[in-house]
């Protein structure tokens, strides 16, 4: 059996690991469940404020969750440089998922998994897809579940 240590993992230039710390009291922000009006808002909307716990929504299982920053263009237009990905390592690899993977212990990258064609898809047509052969080893660090993007 081969054991791969976390310190041995190599990330490609497309992604950057972002460490985070979970605090006891959590994180809450203002959340307007009714959304935002593109036209003239109702004066009553000022009173529809709720609380949204970011840690409960995005970090519900902190031991299996990590954040990665996108640093390359292979997944444009789906993912853009500097997007932050919330990745869960406790979810099963499924068709069409965006995943953080390594093939044959190469650098980890972010791609879309195509189960039928045994292929890792780059959403940007300027980048090649990666075929997964019968003898290849696929290491999946997790499934991208959420995207954080600054506007």
Give catalytic residue positions.
Answer: 74, 111
Alpha-carbon dihedral of residues 122, 130, 92, 27, nearest 10 degrees? -40
- Contacts for 16 with CB less than 8 Å, ≥ 6 apart: 68, 69, 70, 71
| Structure-block tokens of residue 138 | 């696929």
Cα 113 to chain centroid, rounded: 13
Q: Are 49 and 33 in contact, with CB atoms under 8 Å apart?
A: no
| Structure-block tokens of residue 42 | 């109702």
Comparing C-alpha atoms, which of 52, 48, 55, 51 is closest to residue 23?
55
């Amino acid at each position: 059996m081969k054991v791969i240590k976390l310190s041995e993992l190599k990330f490609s230039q497309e992604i950057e690991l972002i460490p985070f710390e979970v605090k006891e009291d959590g994180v809450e922000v203002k959340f307007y469940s009714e959304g935002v009006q593109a036209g003239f808002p109702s004066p009553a909307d000022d009173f529809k404020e709720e609380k949204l716990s970011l840690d409960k929504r995005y970090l519900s299982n902190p031991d299996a969750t990590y954040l990665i920053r996108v640093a390359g263009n292979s997944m444009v237009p789906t993912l853009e440089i500097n997007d932050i990905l919330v990745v869960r390592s406790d979810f099963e690899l499924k068709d069409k998922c965006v995943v953080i993977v390594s093939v044959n212990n190469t650098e980890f990258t972010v791609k879309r998994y195509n189960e039928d064609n045994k292929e890792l898809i780059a959403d940007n047509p300027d980048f090649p897809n990666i075929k997964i052969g019968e003898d290849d080893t696929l290491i999946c660090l997790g499934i991208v579940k959420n995207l954080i993007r600054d506007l």
